[in-house]
Amino acid sequence: MVGRRRKLRNIGADHSDVCFKPCGIRGIDLEYIELYEDEMEAIRLSDYEGLYQLHDL
């Protein structure tokens, strides 16, 4: 059985130089985690655009 075809993603912004860190803590003391483009797009859509997926239970 073959899965469905992959869809092309539309990323609304370039997030290649974005960094998030807690205030008051030096960046050198933190662990770095890289996010995929679609993960950053999900953060942008939910936090900056206020868009969410809602479902009925």
pLDDT in tens, 1-45: 788 888 887 777 777 777 778 888 888 888 888 888 888 888 888
Residues 6+ apart with CB under 8 A from 46: 52
Structural contact between residues 44 and 13, judged by C-beta atoms closer than 8 angstroms: yes
Q: pTM higher than 0.75, yes or no?
A: no
- What residues does each domain of the chain span? 16-52
pLDDT at 57 (0 to 100) = 61
pLDDT at 37 (0 to 100) = 83
Q: How far is CA 7 from the centre of its chain?
A: 18
Rounded Cα gap, residues 3 and 44, in angstroms? 29
Rounded Cα gap, residues 34 and 14, in angstroms? 14
